[in-house]
Structure 1
Amino acid sequence: MIDTSPLLIVDDEPEYLDEILEALAFEGVVAFSAPSGLAAVEALRARPDIHIVVTDIRMPDMDGIALVETARAEFGDRNLQFIVVTGHASRIDIDRAKAAGVRDCLPKPLVLDALHRAIRSLPV
């Protein structure tokens, strides 16, 4: 399976987070979750071993793109890689995400095989 640092999964839907974390744990992937962009920034502060963030684009307090921009500004010395997941993003949102340095955009519901492929394609 994937041999990487722990993942941070960010989404404002608790049931969705639980489902993804359970599926990843079943495959032996260490992952943490954050229910918001602000909580994700706190998690990144607390866990310097996290280098891959999978985030929803649309969240109420801080959208996924703002999370990417904030994390890049605060943790510029870390090799953070971002993958966004969305069920509602417009082409403008996806273009903004790519401009912010997001490596991949995946549709919801998230297919774990697609996530694994996206992670394997990240630069080391």
Structure 2
Amino acid sequence: MSELLIVDDEPEFLDELLEAFAFNGVVARSADSAGAALALLEANPDIRVVVSDIRMPDMDGLVMIDTAKQRYPARDLTFVVMTGHAATADLDRARAAGVRHCFPKPLSFEDLQGAIEEALAEK
């Protein structure tokens, strides 16, 4: 059972995050697209924290977050975003969507891990 889902369309980056979290004792599920993330949320009600890239080819990460909130209003989901293109408009949209933390890429794994551990501890 994993309460963490990581969503990123860059396979190498996704693998690095999964390895780093596993090394630190956190098991996570992963999705390489927003559509796959929504399918995992549907199939795995134990997921509580979602870390997502904002810009992905199939669906914007913020649209995916809004969709997840609409589909699962009773679930206590926490969202964290990361982006290599931290435009002010994207960060404003993320805050408006209720995203807890926004991390620019390249990101500090320690900062991300701290945010995830904090969110999981609250669940």
TM (norm. structure 1) is: 0.91
- Is 1:41 the counterpart of 2:38 in the alignment? yes
Q: In the alignment, which residue of structure 1 is the partner of 2:105?
A: 108
Determine the C-alpha separation between the residues in 2 that align with 1:117 and 1:21: 15
| Equivalence map 1:1-124=2 (5 Å) | 6-122=3-119, 123-124=122-123
Q: CA deviation at 1:60?
A: 0.8
Q: CA deviation at 1:109?
A: 1.9
Structure 2 portions without partners, runs of 5+? none
Which structure features the higher share of helix residues? Answer: 2
Q: CA deviation at 1:108?
A: 1.1
Structure 1 portions without partners, runs of 5+? none
Q: CA deviation at 1:117?
A: 2.2
Identity of aligned residues (%): 58
User: Structure 1: which 4+ aligned runs deviate by more than 6 Å?
Assistant: none
Root-mean-square deviation (Å): 1.5
How many matched pairs?
121
Q: SS of the counterpart of 1:29?
A: coil
TM (norm. structure 2) is: 0.92
Q: SS of the counterpart of 1:101?
A: coil
